[in-house]
Structure 1
Amino acid sequence: MDYEPPFLDVYKPLLLQNSHAVAVDVGGSGIRNDKSEWCELPLIDLSRLSLDHVEREECMKEISRAARTWGFFQVLNHGVSQELLQNLRHEQMDVFRNPFATKSRENFLNLPARSYRWGNPFATNWSQISWSEAFHFFLPDIARMEDQHQSLRSSIEAFASVVAPLAESLVQILAQKLNIKFSYFQENCSANTCFLRLNRYPPCPLHSRVFGLLPHTDSSFLTILNQDPIGGLQLMKDGKWIGVKPNPQALVVNIGDLFQAVSNDMYISAKHQVVGGEKEERFSVAYFYNPREDAVIESQMMPAVYRKFSFREYREQIEKDVKETGDKAGLSRFLL
């Protein structure tokens, strides 16, 4: 099919070098496709925030508790309608059906260079292979999309218009429960710094050997995700990989590295990955609540666990580590 990225052609040398391997093993964990390993994340009904003081306070405590113990949770009554999610998924499927040669053009959709990405260009062995493709949209760039993709643009704008204030609301709650001033986030984050990512995980003939998305933590303050009913998201909990059972009514929320840094490790940026599927393609859409490039990331609690650093410095260090080692060192580079 002309819309599939050339995974096998590009990765063939790496796979031939390791033809004896039968499973990926990263840190002793490995890929786990057994759906019986699925768990249900803490599920929080956000409508309780509109009830009396007692209910609101208990809901806020549950959000903070989940961020401390899991680094992940799910939310209901989040404001994103099922109709909107279905429309977005339909448009998402359509845009990924464009020929690979078209998608990979620098000016496709009238978006900046590298808005379309696939695989892992820095892979040096089979354990670093990523079997996925994605479109990255910084919020201000959505309006630049060509008129021929107006329905896609409208769906993305509608989704962003709901999840952007949702992210701010959750960040405000999480900050309040640690006595961190919300103004810190307001001063450093805006619509210009946050972005959406549309993900597609194609059927993978090597699904037991490679990842859909490599194990990683998010380099954000907060991420909000909608995964399809097929699932594939897994997170590290108590040293084991466990699958996140899809809930079609819920959005998944996870803490990013930057929130872990400013919270002095009170909130967890949990490592997670996506496993590949043999026959079914999978889709998800994620919103990343990020600061501006020159924002200073520093602990809002004392004594600090991490030294001060800018978001630009953090991103550049990650890019350097990935190019040199194929993996992200993350916050460990900034420990005091």
Structure 2
Amino acid sequence: MAIPTVDLSPFFTNGGDEKKKIAIDTIKLACSDHGFFQVVNHNVPLDLMSRAVQLSKTFFAFPAEEKLQYSPGAAAPLPAGYNKQPDRSPDKNEYLLMFQPQSGFNVLPSHPPHFREALEEMFIHLRQTGELLEEIVNDCLGLPSGFLKGYNQDRSWDFMAALRYFPATETENTGITEHEDGNCITLVVQDDVGGLEVKKDGKWIPVVPSAGTIIVNLGDVIQVLSNKKFKSATHRVVRSKERSRHSFAFFYTVEGDKWVEPLLEFTRGVGEAAEYRGFMYKDYQALRMRNKTHPPSRPEDAITIAHYAIST
């Protein structure tokens, strides 16, 4: 079993309405089922994707003292810069986190040469892909044209991470433990090592690497807004014993002061009860960040969107 692959080329050309319908129907089914699919012909330059991954590998191979030059200060809403998971965390990876505030990109490394430019280009292209996918999800949900774009105009909380997952050991192979993303839509570019898996019907499905493909999964915000009509994808990363895994993840999200709750179109408007109580996005993000900075002794104690679920 494989996750569905969607060709986005009809959305960049005139005509092709039937192909657009096929793409929308495929995405709607995936989002209703498990929240995971992958896209091709997405308008992100393939040479840029390859170059960015290679430069990322070079950066993470630097000595620790070089990478630590780019450690975060008191940046908000998340600690932008170079980070490594705490030793007591079950997740074993290191990552470079970046935003694009109004003043420009922040905490970008100057080495290796051209890495900064590649990161900036990746960020811009993946954001554009996120905007297109938001439009498609909007249509899949049957919302008025442009509804999600109007709800989610502030792009200042979008962020991107370049990640390295360490090789597995004899006793431990977790890259990232089972979880859902807290944002709207996540876009992932992975190298040929693989390891990403999605949970569907209680089984783990490997997302087999394919050159030029971008992996897409929905996050908690869409699940809440749709009142669970669309699923926040459950996924994990299993580490390889032979090599480190490198990837980019772009998190298309909402601004921190945005109020998130099930939309009327999926609750009172159709005679259904809300599955979640409303919350300020930055409050939920802070709880999720604490999962990373102060990992609970038991993984099941980590805060998830279930924290806001309304018991029946």
Same structural fold, with TM-score higher than 0.5 when normalized by the shorter chain: yes
**Aligned equivalent of 1:116:** 82
Aligned partner of 2:38 in structure 1 is 74
Q: Unpaired runs of 5+ in structure 1?
A: 1-38, 124-128
- Contact persistence 1:232–1:243 (CA under 8 A): yes
Matched, 1:91 2:52: no
Distance in 1 between residues matched to 2:246 and 2:110, nearest whole Å: 24
Amino acid corresponding to residue 305 of structure 2 in structure 1: L
- Shift in Å at residue 147 of structure 1? 4.9
Superposed structure 1 runs of 4+ greater than 4 Å apart: 107-114, 146-150, 319-322
What is the RMSD of the two structures over their aligned residues, measured on CA atoms?
A: 2.4
One-letter amino acid of the counterpart of residue 45, structure 2: S
Residue identity opposite 1:85 in structure 2: M
- Evaluate the alpha carbon distance shift between residue 115 and residue 40 of structure 1 in structure 2; reply closer, same or farther with a 3 A threshold: same
Relative distance call for 1:78 and 1:244 in structure 2 (3 A) is same
- String of CA shifts for 1:46-82, please: whole Å, max 9, x gaps: 1133333232222212111111113100101011222
Instruction: Give the TM-score of the pair, scaled to structure 1.
Output: 0.79
Structure 1 residue 262 corresponds to structure 2 residue 228: no
> Greater CA deviation, 287-296 or 64-73?
64-73
Matched, 1:332 2:306: yes
Q: Percent identity?
A: 25
Deviation at 1:43, TM superposition (A): 0.7
Displacement of 1:157 after TM fit?
A: 1.4
Work out whether 1:57 is the aligned partner of 2:11: no
The structural deviation recorded for 1:222 is 0.3
**Aligned equivalent of 1:317, options 287, 297, 300:** 287
Cα distance between partner residues in 2 of 1:146 and 1:116: 9
* Distance of 2:124 and 2:286 partners within structure 1: 29
Which deviations, in whole Å up to 9, do the C-alpha atoms of 1:273-315 show, x marking residues without a partner? 1111112111110100011111111112213211111111212
Shift of 1:214: 1.5
Amino acid at match of 1:330: T
SS in 1 for 2:114: helix
Q: How many residues align?
A: 291
Structure 2's unaligned 5+ residue stretches are none
| TM-score, structure 2 as length reference | 0.85
8 A Cα contact 1:110 1:145, kept in partner:
no
* Aligned position for 1:247: 210
Instruction: Give the CA deviation at 1:317.
Output: 3.0
Query: Could you say if the C-alpha distance between residues 114 and 250 of structure 1 is closer, same or farther in structure 2, counting changes exceeding 3 Å?
Result: closer
